[in-house]
């Protein structure tokens, strides 16, 4: 039996990446819509209801409209937009989130793909909150730098335009109203009383991401060392194919620097920890198009269809 898969929004960055990742999967039949038909609701409705599983790679409102077009109770949906990430009727798509999340994803017909920044932050903070190291009352500071592909086709075109070759050399902070679209899910999924103080930046590279969470030791619920935090992470994420806990940061760093692109084209997230007497820094490294988007979507698809979870994915 082949599962029928439809990518609604197949011409965008995430949709194209999903197509690339699935094109050689023999157990799948990829349904494709002509570009000139993608806004024809009747044609789209036919594809949505014919598929066993649909990926929504659309803006929020368009994702909500596509869900309304599904009239059967068999089509499973994975939404890569922010539209449903805080909706309790949808399952949050981080299989490693807790011991029961993978089973929830497997039994769900509606799964949302986490945001790339949110994935790095949530996977770094969840074990610390669950083990009463970080309080849900705590105001956490987080900074992230991502490749420009995270901004979709529009930003890719700007960065890769020949006339802009020497224009965007520096890291560029954005969302400076301090209201980034990933903040609601960061707060909701972790049960925080306040959203983190989060500042993202875009770098002059296509893919890759570092999400940096800053902790003040005096504000932690327990007196804990880097070694103990690493042990906690290792236990929390034990046997997880796509999570790597870095214990030797001397070998991990490149002459003291951390490269944002070393997880590119994988579904891996790496968590490393750094400390001084007063502070602790937790860094998540991932591919913003991998574990931060299309890779996570495919991982969820594998779970929902009962396929091998790591099929088509690199760890």
Asked if 249 and 274 touch (Cβ cutoff 8 Å), the reply is: yes
> Is 116 one of the catalytic residues?
yes
Q: Are residues 148 and 5 in contact, defined by beta-carbon separation less than 8 angstroms?
A: no
d(CA 241, CA 246): 14
Which residue among 57, 116, 142, 263 is the active-site one? 116
Which residues are annotated as catalytic? Answer: 116
């Amino acid at each position: 039996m082949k599962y029928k898969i439809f990518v609604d929004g197949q011409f965008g960055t995430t949709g194209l990446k999903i197509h690339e990742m699935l094109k050689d999967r023999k157990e799948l039949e990829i349904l494709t819509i002509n570009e000139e038909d993608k806004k024809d609701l009747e044609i789209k409705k036919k594809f949505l209801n014919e598929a066993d599983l649909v990926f929504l790679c659309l803006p929020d409102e368009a994702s909500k409209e596509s869900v309304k077009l599904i009239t059967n109770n068999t089509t499973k949906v994975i939404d890569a937009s922010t539209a449903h990430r805080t909706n309790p009727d949808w399952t949050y798509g981080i299989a490693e989130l807790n011991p029961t999340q993978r089973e929830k994803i497997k039994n769900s017909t509606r799964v949302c793909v986490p945001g790339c920044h949110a994935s790095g932050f949530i996977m770094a903070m969840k074990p610390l909150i669950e083990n009463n190291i970080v309080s849900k009352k705590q105001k956490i500071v987080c900074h992230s730098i991502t490749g420009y592909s995270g901004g979709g086709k529009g930003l890719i075109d700007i960065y890769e335009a020949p006339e802009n070759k020497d224009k965007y050399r520096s890291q560029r902070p954005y969302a400076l109203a301090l209201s980034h679209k990933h903040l609601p899910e960061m707060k909701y999924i972790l049960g925080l009383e306040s959203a983190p103080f989060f500042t993202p930046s875009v770098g002059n590279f296509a893919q890759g991401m570092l999400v940096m969470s800053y902790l003040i030791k005096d504000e932690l619920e327990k007196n804990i060392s880097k070694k103990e935090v690493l042990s906690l992470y290792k236990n929390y994420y034990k046997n997880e194919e796509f999570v790597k806990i870095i214990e030797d940061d001397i070998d991990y760093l490149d002459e003291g620097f951390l490269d944002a692109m070393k997880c590119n084209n994988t579904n891996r997230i790496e968590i490393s920890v750094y400390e001084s007497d007063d502070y602790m820094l937790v860094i998540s490294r991932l591919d913003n198009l991998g574990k931060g988007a299309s890779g996570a979507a495919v991982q969820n698809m594998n779970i929902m269809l009962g396929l091998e979870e790591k099929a088509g994915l690199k760890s």
